Amino acid sequence: MKDPTFWLLARASGMTAYVLLTSAVLGGLILKARPFGRRLRAATVTDIHRFLATLALGAVGIHGLALVLDSTVRIRLGALLVPGLSPYRPLAVGLGVVAAELTALVAVSFPLRKRIGQRSWRRLHWATYGIFVAASAHGLAAGTDTARLFPLYVGAVFAVVLATAWRALTRPQKGVPRVQDRDRPLPV
């Protein structure tokens, strides 16, 4: 009988990474839209957002390492670096690889924000929507617990779509202060 330790660790860390990624995306949307007004400082939400993204990346690393060490599904290190090399569901695993690599790129951009410029940094951050979609598709198509965890995926996608719609609908028009900014004078 094979030892299931690494297989269980791979499954647990994959789901943990997905929940943390969803939380980081929601944190970024909350940071930008500021639904709680001034009750939460932007710096605090930024720190939480970055921390969640870093934790998600760590969980992805554990997920990949556990898959390489597991004997249930034989995945080599190269398959975790190059999309499509996995013998197990190559497209689904490839989506996970792309999502992980883009997550690392976005995470690395945080300390480089001033160097690459605010505009480039924001454009790079648009990739988080693609990362979330790729990670969701990866979990649904490559995960062995998809049927059991389907409500989690639906809830995560619903939350991100709802937060994105809310953010888009509550964008301030130029010259019109946001609700939480009403006590500030209009720019002259």
Q: Looking at the domain assignment, is residue 184 inside a domain?
A: no
pLDDT at site 156:
96
Residue 88, domain extent:
5-171
Count of alpha carbons within 13 angstroms of residue 123, beta-carbon side: 5
Placement of tokens 């400082």 in the chain: 41
User: Is the pLDDT score of 124 beyond 70?
Assistant: yes
In angstroms, the CA 12 to CA 149 distance is 12
* pLDDT (average), residues 71-100: 88
User: Is the pLDDT score of 35 beyond 60?
Assistant: no
Q: Looking at the domain assignment, is residue 10 inside a domain?
A: yes
Q: Looking at the domain assignment, is residue 79 inside a domain?
A: yes
Q: Give the model's confidence band at 34: pLDDT under 50 very low, under 70 low, under 90 confident, else very high.
A: low
Percent of the chain residues topping a pLDDT of 90 = 45
In angstroms, the CA 90 to CA 88 distance is 6
Provide the domain count of the chain.
1
Q: Looking at the domain assignment, is residue 176 inside a domain?
A: no
Q: What are phi and psi of 171, to 5 degrees?
A: -65, 130
Q: Looking at the domain assignment, is residue 181 inside a domain?
A: no
And the tokens for 1? 């009988």
pTM of the predicted model, to two decimals? 0.84
- Which comes out higher in pLDDT, residue 186 or 132? 132
* pLDDT (average), residues 40-49: 78
User: Is the pLDDT score of 13 beyond 50?
Assistant: yes
Q: Looking at the domain assignment, is residue 138 inside a domain?
A: yes
Q: Give the model's confidence band at 172: pLDDT under 50 very low, under 70 low, under 90 confident, else very high.
A: low
Q: Looking at the domain assignment, is residue 180 inside a domain?
A: no
- pLDDT digits 0-9 by tens, 135-157: 999 999 998 888 899 999 999 99
Q: Looking at the domain assignment, is residue 185 inside a domain?
A: no
pLDDT at site 152:
94
- Which comes out higher in pLDDT, residue 174 or 149? 149
